[in-house]
Amino acid sequence: MAAEIELKFPVAEMESLIRRAESTGFQLVTPRTFESNTLYDTADRQLRQRTELVRIRQYGERWTLTHKRLPEHNDPTARFKTRVETETTVSDGEALAEVFTRMGYGPVFRYEKFRTEWDLEGGHLVLDETPIGVWAELEGQPEWIDAMLEKLGVDPATSSTASYGALFLEWKKQSGSAAENLTFDEAGVVAAG
* 113 residue type, one letter: K
pLDDT in tens, 136-184: 999 999 999 999 999 999 999 999 999 999 999 999 999 999 999 999 9
H-state helical runs in 86-175:
93-102, 142-151, 164-175
pLDDT at 78 over 90: no
The count of structural domains within the chain is 1
pLDDT at res. 71: 86
In a domain, 190, yes or no: no
In a domain, 113, yes or no: yes
In a domain, 185, yes or no: no
- Specify the CATH number for the domain of residue 54: 2.40.320.10
Task: State the chain's maximal CA–CA distance in angstroms.
Answer: 49
Give the angle subtended at the CA of 86 by the CAs of 83 and 87, to the nearest 5°.
125
In a domain, 186, yes or no: no
In a domain, 170, yes or no: yes
* Total-model pTM: 0.89
Detail the DSSP E strand segments found in 73-168.
Answer: 81-90, 106-120, 123-130, 133-140
Question: Range of 68's domain?
Answer: 2-175
pLDDT in tens, 87-136: 999 999 999 999 999 999 999 999 999 999 999 998 999 999 999 999 99
In a domain, 193, yes or no: no
